[in-house]
Amino acid sequence: MADILLISTDHSPMRGGIARVIEHFCRSFEKGKLVVLACDHSEAKKESNVIRLTVDLNASWLGKTAQLLIWLLESVSQIRRYSIPLVVISTLSPMGILGPILKYFFGKPYCIFAYASEIPMRNSFFFRRWLARIIYESSSRVLCISEYALARVLAVAPNARCAITTLGVDCSRFKIKARNKNLIKRYGLEGRRVFLCLGRLVRRKGYDRAIESFAKAFAGRNDVMLLIAGDGPDRESLSALAINLGVGSIVRFAGALEEHELVDVYNLAEVFLFLAREEKGDAEGFGLVILEAAACGCVVIGGRSGAIPEVIQDGGTGVLVDPENVDEIASKMSELIQNDELRKNLSEQGRAYALSQTWNRTGETIRQIFETVSSGGARARG
């Protein structure tokens, strides 16, 4: 008998913040206690408890309906085969609708994760908001990764039963280590002090403001470097921006990273920039990279938007700024490079906080929630 059926389109080897959340969620359960339905992937390793199914987000309406039916039938098959008492769904779309179906037609309670970016806004198409409300309010618990995500859920589903399950960091992996000489050579960082951005290159992440602020603070200098790791649709425009501002030679685009390179890249930098901002009502749901960078000793400058102020204590575990205020950001960047004592204190406090936010702690919180749900426990927040 397994304890949980996890339905996830973000299971390994998929990349990104949600994929890392799901990876650590799976690790928190003993082998044999978890059965996973995941999307097929050419790089996927064979795992005895993982069933791979097709997902084509570009399929026609009829094709998507057929896919949903296949996932539903496989879910029911696994539930009956292993007498699984609880279903967990990794995110709202595209498989969130399976939750209410499994609950009302097959009597299986379910929980669903909520991150923020996937949750429809008040001005979203009515059907999306209606469907999200049904999915969230029918669930036994909505597992919100932050207070900000909780507020977004309750805005569309005021009767949803929610619980906060803040994220963690793998401190055995993300830690301070010597700078990788090969990476220093690859990115031309010899004799330079490094500012780092990492993530998907899209407007909401604020890379344009990072480049503008860096140019304002350090144009004309050759002893610093802004290293931007990641890829995305804005790469060409960001590269052009750096050139136009005269800092093309001290802004380096590293491209997409392999998972095993993350720790070494964090350790190249003294300061990590996470200037995510609100974009059309949407903002950052947590910012897992903040904890990872802090665990590796970086001082984090974060944009004051979304859930970022929940993760960074301004002047304590990091620095908060207006993510649109280039003057303020540039001033903080200059101050951190010039003031060794301030940088050291912020680094130590940020790292201490990150080390306290472990995945074991997150896993224990989630297990307690599941025990409450399985025993028919009391209503949660919301």
Q: Do 17 and 160 fall within a single domain? A: yes
Give the C-alpha separation, 217 to 222, whole Å.
Answer: 12
| DSSP helix/strand/coil, 264 | helix
pTM: 0.90
pLDDT tens, residue by residue, 281-322: 778 999 999 999 999 999 999 999 999 999 999 999 999 999
Contact 287, 274 (CB under 8 A): yes
pLDDT tens, residue by residue, 71-114: 999 999 999 999 999 999 999 999 999 999 999 999 999 999 99
Determine, yes or no, domain membership for 379.
Answer: no
Determine, yes or no, domain membership for 202.
Answer: yes
Q: Do 330 and 247 fall within a single domain? A: yes
Q: What angle do CA 87, 90, 23 make, to 5 degrees?
A: 105
Give the C-alpha separation, 158 to 153, whole Å.
Answer: 8
Contact 145, 114 (CB under 8 A): yes
Helix 126-138, helix 147-156: angle, nearest 10: 110
Q: Do 151 and 291 fall within a single domain? A: no
| DSSP helix/strand/coil, 198 | strand
Q: Do 186 and 322 fall within a single domain? A: yes
Determine, yes or no, domain membership for 271.
Answer: yes
Contact 298, 287 (CB under 8 A): no
Q: What CA–CA distances, in Å, run from 335 to 256, 340, 341?
A: 30, 9, 11
pLDDT of the residue at 379: 53
Average of per-residue pLDDT across 16-25: 85
Average pLDDT, the chain: 93
For residue 30, the enclosing domain spans 4-168+358-374
Q: Do 202 and 337 fall within a single domain? A: yes
Closest CA relative to residue 88, chosen from 369, 362, 286, 358: 369
Average of per-residue pLDDT across 250-270: 95
Determine, yes or no, domain membership for 381.
Answer: no
**Domain total in the chain:** 2
Determine, yes or no, domain membership for 302.
Answer: yes
Q: Do 61 and 146 fall within a single domain? A: yes
Q: Do 198 and 347 fall within a single domain? A: yes
Helix 326-338, helix 340-356: angle, nearest 10: 100
Q: Do 81 and 226 fall within a single domain? A: no
What CATH number does the domain containing 314 carry? Answer: 3.40.50.2000
Q: Do 225 and 311 fall within a single domain? A: yes
Q: Do 216 and 296 fall within a single domain? A: yes
| DSSP helix/strand/coil, 157 | coil
How far does Cα 14 stand from its chain's mean position?
13
Determine, yes or no, domain membership for 174.
Answer: no
Determine, yes or no, domain membership for 148.
Answer: yes
> b/e map of 139-160 (b: 16 or more CB within 10 Å)?
bbbbbbbbebbbebbbebbeeb
Lowest mean pLDDT, pick from 8-22, 243-257, 294-308: 8-22
Q: Do 329 and 209 fall within a single domain? A: yes
Q: Do 145 and 205 fall within a single domain? A: no
